[in-house]
Chain A
Amino acid sequence: MLKNIIYLLTLMVVLALPTQAQYMDVQGGNQVLSITTAAAGSEPTAVVNTSSNLRYRRQTFVITKVTVSTSCPGQNFTLKVYASTIQNNGGTAAPEVTLTNGMLATDFITGIPRFSNQWRTATLRYTASATFAQGNSAELGNEVHTVTYTLVAQ
């Protein structure tokens, strides 16, 4: 009887592990990047935004990573994102990702260590740019990206 109880408890613990500490959220809310100026002879000046963070934690048997993707129908301009200032040994930043409507989930942070329930934080550094040839929002409308971050096994 005792064996069966221990067996059952072990089963419950193991099955609970993948979901026990699953947590990830984007802090800082929605962001707006406005491109307003250009230097003489140059394309419009790119704009950088670092006002939002990605917070995540994981306690598991596997090394995890964060991927990023976006949905932005009718995209005209360029938006890139990079994980800067990763705190608490929260993995390694992948190269800057160009966010393109309909893209496959792309590595954003890799090598997040296992067996740690610490909160990790990465600053989301967005860079928006546009060329003169790409037009403006008054004619084309604002471009709204729904950027999704996902914590998965690596």
Chain B
Amino acid sequence: MNKYLLRIVLVIIGGTVPALAQTYGTDNHQVTVQVSTITMVSVDISSISMTITGAGVPAGQDQMTATNTSSKLRWGVNSSSRKITAQTNLATPLFALNLLAVSPTQGTAAAEATLSTTAQDIMLNIGRSLGECTLQYTGIALASQGTGTDSHTITFTVTTQ
């Protein structure tokens, strides 16, 4: 009888040990990750005002300027080879308005541009990045141009470089 029980115990142990390292079941499924083309561009301040007063301009100098760096441009682009352009809706401004991207966290700032109704490069090489820059606006008036007010609506666009 003892021999009989011993045999059963050995069989149980022998059957259990392989089970410790065994795979009991497996299954799989497919999980697809899709990432859409996402392009996001925004300006943090919706309206700014600049006044050219001529204060500090030496006597005899025709050109007067005012500068504003209070707003930032932010973008998020997950496509390659992209740039940002800017243009104004004001076809015939009385005074020149220049724009320069300052201290970009990604990409390369383009040269300072005088805004017109034609899109002009502001930021280059921003493909696949999340970044921001300061917008430096400079209003330029000549004494000979007299007084007046220009109201611009400026549009920033991410486009293929």
Contacts and interface: CB of A to CB of B under 8 A. Distances in A.
A144 interface: yes
B22 interface: yes
Contacts of B19: 17-18, 60-62, 153
Contacts of B4: 3, 6-7
Contact of A139 (B11, B79, B132): B79
Nearest to A23: B25
B36 A29 contact: no
Given A7-B7, A7-B8, A24-B25, A147 B30 contact: yes
- The number of chain B residues touching the other chain, given as a range, is 35 or more
Given A14-B14, A153-B19, A136 B78 contact: yes
Given A61-B19, A132-B38, A33 B129 contact: no
B24 A64 contact: yes
Given A17-B15, A44-B38, A10 B33 contact: no
B18 interface: yes
A104 B28 CA distance: 15
Contacts of A11: 11, 15
A116 interface: no
B32 A132 contact: no
Interface string A4-43: 0011001100110111011111101111111111101111
Contacts of B33: 33, 35, 77, 79, 128, 130, 137, 142-143, 145
A137 B35 contact: yes
B24 A151 contact: yes
B44 to A, nearest CB: 8
B37 A18 contact: no
Interface string A124-151: 0010101111111111101111111111
Nearest to A131: B130
Nearest to B36: A36
Contact of B24 (A35, A132, A152): A152
B22 A33 contact: no
B12 interface: yes
Nearest to B15: A14
B77 interface: yes
A126 B33 CA distance: 10
B39 to A, nearest CB: 9
A88 to B, nearest CB: 16
10 contacts: A41-B42, A44-B35, A60-B19, A77-B35, A79-B31, A132-B38, A136-B35, A146-B30, A148-B28, A150-B23
